[in-house]
Structure 1
């Protein structure tokens, strides 16, 4: 059913005939008839009742509203209103219904959208305005611990699929009037609600305007997850590197808002978007800021080392065993040669077989039910690896290399970066098999050049290393004590950069 919405009239197309409809009429029967035609073959409930001596009708979708709110604060109150001194929308709003939020509208097209957006609409005979009762509800998942971002120390609450709950979780972290929220709707059919959150006075106004503009340009029939928006909003859609961070953690959103970034919460998904993002941001876990800085420094240096192993270890093994055997100690070279004596494939094909098998097991472990997924992935890796070695398909050193590579990739805190590293591993293996270490160096130069050329909403993706900013390195490879991080990152914030008082270093005399 097609409808053409104008400011004065609404045209409904039914049976190839256009029926001209005026806005909300004082005749309730006319309003109900038009709305019933619009909601034909749908699950919309029309609850007819009496308000004093006047006919009324409450229109809502049962699965999207809070039944308690509708029954106690709307239907019960309306039926109890036996005598009405003056029939007006102001009187009904102020003296009859006790719903927390009430809007008014005289446009039938707006009323249709309000009903679809989990509200209840009240039309009363004799009034040319309808009341929109905020009674959003329905079945929602309770707040629980994030599954994709587990932490040893820190808050255990994660976002849900309810936008209102998610906004309140962030509000609980930042109880400031400077926290601003811009509400928007995307998707012509899904009409998905989203919220743009930022800190006024900290976030750049140009950044907020750019985010709004990019969202307004999105014209699509439906948005079911924040990933839809991510692909429309990123600067470079052809790179494998994530340019917008996603997170399930309210504390991560709050921390990034305080650093001048912008967050986008989307109804129907527990994953919020944070932008702009840099490469090093994806190597940082939220608990880095909750542990003592000595522990955080060790963990960050460990992650940086392991990301190089996850990216380069198979390629390096292929290069040295194929082209640069002189780099391997003699005893180790004899051991590798003995283990590869019966292997019919070159090192590249051997590594490719094991890497693909490992990726298949990892994907199977994710898709299988949780009860058996982990057991299948672990047992599968052990059984297949042992069987492949005994069958002479791959060598034992290759199984060790692939296993170490897989373990190293699991240490990357953000899945979006981890999957990018896993993808880039294969072209580097091909370069190593073709040109040896020269191929690895060539691939690394191309990769670093690409990272330095990327931008996320005007911010250099590889900053503060490219371009180099010494003062910002205190929160990249290491994490200095909190009393040393007195200023916000200058890539995002140009004004109001100070976030703590000076001279907060603890004194030994205290």
Structure 2
């Protein structure tokens, strides 16, 4: 687009902006005259993207009355520098000299001031739109701890972190991602604790993103993650500001995406996905016990159905005779083999889980109760499913709920079906082979240069103890600066 003419006309500029925006209905304008010469001035903004009070108090009112309130000695000929310096009271004003930049700032929430006869224009920051109130995040509730969570406003989310880490070493870098959406992404880290190579690598990956729009942080997560073909998440996501404050104190890098309450953290390890911020708010013996429960839940979710199928199909001699007799009597009359029975129950449970999430909250719990009680009991009475299979699937479901990370929980649920196939073919030997393959895959993964299985592969004794135990604060040493 051509730059504005030296004899800039507010009518011509208004028409050019309308043409660029397709004569959109939410473009508003206000014309006024300022100075002793009564020079025409046009103010443009988009409804819903600006704060009306800020527009009136910092732009329109100063333009109309500001010149008369100045002492006669300070009155100058109306010009762009004079307006920026002495009239407009907005916190941020930018002088622009082309229409492309003006339109871009306009759709981002700025008010554009056009002065008759001046080649430049002024963009005043009046951004402001309705945002959701700060409340406890639904995806990660805690018994003890802060109750506030991220919202969809980038500025509010950054302030929630700043309130917790009041340090001069906190760095916030804002980048723009998305050729069309022009989404702002804030990269937050502690300058004295984050490794420079990690910060530079994260910055490089963000700058190399070439995509039309970023509507949620998952867009960025999939693009910048290591090993995109792996099921395991190498980027940690959370809705909790206290969680982000904790990870940047550990030397990690956080990414806050405008328009979503989910923040991203790099680097990410498997054991980080099994911890929660609530571990830090509980007494260390209780927190350690709960952490071990999560580790057990992780393995039960992955292995319980496959061990049931493998042992019952290939190694029934491993089961105590009385227990084996009970299982076989319960399976008497069931028309499906053990593998088909387990797969049907697992798929049914996954369907019920998805239905309970998608249905309205008022009936979502009812669907879960109906699915768990009515359908399961009816299937057992009809002889289609054995009661031991229902117990195994129910135990696996309970174990899966102990995994705090939604992404990791989804990964383990998918791998559970693969473990079932291996167990149905080779029994326990198939499970061991699958675990070896899984271990090789996990130890070969990295997240922004950090081994995914750290601190156990490679093994670091002190960090390994901190991963398995919630160490009491009175024996923890202060983190050294790099």
Please give the TM-score of this superposition, normalised by the length of structure 2. 0.95
- Is structure 2 residue 102 aligned with structure 1 residue 111? yes
Residue of structure 2 in register with 1:44 after alignment: 27
- Is structure 2 residue 85 aligned with structure 1 residue 94? yes
Per-residue deviation, 1:272: 0.4
Per-residue deviation, 1:32: 2.5
Per-residue deviation, 1:25: 4.9
Structure 2 matches for 1:51-90, cutoff 5 A?
Answer: 51-52=34-35, 53-81=38-66, 83=68, 84-90=75-81
Residue of structure 1 in register with 2:71 after alignment: none
Q: Which moved more, 1:74-83 or 1:358-367?
A: 74-83
* Residues 109-152 of structure 1: CA deviation (Å, up to 9, x unaligned): 11111111111111111333222111111111111111101111
Which consecutive aligned stretches of 4+ in structure 1 deviate over 6 angstroms post-superposition? none
Residue of structure 2 in register with 1:6 after alignment: none
Q: Which runs of 5+ in 1 are unaligned?
A: 1-9, 11-19, 489-494, 498-510
Structure 2 matches for 1:103-502, cutoff 5 A?
Answer: 103-486=94-477, 488=479, 496=481
Q: Which runs of 5+ in 2 are unaligned?
A: 69-74
Supply the distance in 1 between the matched residues of 2:452 and 2:434 (Cα, whole angstroms).
Answer: 19
SS at match of 1:55: strand
Please give the TM-score of this superposition, normalised by the length of structure 1. 0.90
Supply the distance in 1 between the matched residues of 2:241 and 2:356 (Cα, whole angstroms).
Answer: 27
Residue of structure 2 in register with 1:15 after alignment: none
SS at match of 1:332: helix
8 A Cα contact 1:314 1:402, kept in partner: yes
8 A Cα contact 1:23 1:108, kept in partner: no
8 A Cα contact 1:170 1:253, kept in partner: yes
Supply the distance in 2 between the matched residues of 1:50 and 1:364 (Cα, whole angstroms).
Answer: 60
* Residues 192-244 of structure 1: CA deviation (Å, up to 9, x unaligned): 11111111121111111111111111111111000000111011001000000
Residue of structure 2 in register with 1:33 after alignment: 15
8 A Cα contact 2:135 2:148, kept in partner: yes
SS at match of 1:273: strand
Per-residue deviation, 1:475: 1.8
8 A Cα contact 2:255 2:263, kept in partner: yes
Q: Which moved more, 1:34-43 or 1:437-446?
A: 34-43
The RMSD of aligned alpha carbons is: 1.4
8 A Cα contact 2:113 2:121, kept in partner: yes
SS at match of 1:175: coil
8 A Cα contact 2:189 2:251, kept in partner: yes
Per-residue deviation, 1:39: 2.0
SS at match of 1:144: coil
Per-residue deviation, 1:175: 1.1
Q: Which moved more, 1:382-391 or 1:48-57?
A: 48-57
* Residues 237-276 of structure 1: CA deviation (Å, up to 9, x unaligned): 0100000000000111111001110011111100000000
Q: Which moved more, 1:412-421 or 1:375-384?
A: 375-384
Supply the distance in 2 between the matched residues of 1:157 and 1:86 (Cα, whole angstroms).
Answer: 51
8 A Cα contact 1:432 1:438, kept in partner: yes
Supply the distance in 2 between the matched residues of 1:101 and 1:166 (Cα, whole angstroms).
Answer: 20
* Residues 445-502 of structure 1: CA deviation (Å, up to 9, x unaligned): 11111110100000000011111111111221211112333255xxxxxx716xxxxx
Supply the distance in 2 between the matched residues of 1:144 and 1:50 (Cα, whole angstroms).
Answer: 45
Supply the distance in 1 between the matched residues of 2:463 and 2:447 (Cα, whole angstroms).
Answer: 17
Residue of structure 2 in register with 1:13 after alignment: none
8 A Cα contact 1:161 1:269, kept in partner: yes
Per-residue deviation, 1:82: 5.2
8 A Cα contact 2:4 2:119, kept in partner: no
SS at match of 1:122: strand
Give the 3 Å change call, closer, same or farther, for CA 176–25 of structure 1 in structure 2.
farther
SS at match of 1:279: coil
Supply the distance in 1 between the matched residues of 2:387 and 2:6 (Cα, whole angstroms).
Answer: 77
8 A Cα contact 1:24 1:130, kept in partner: no
Per-residue deviation, 1:91: 2.3
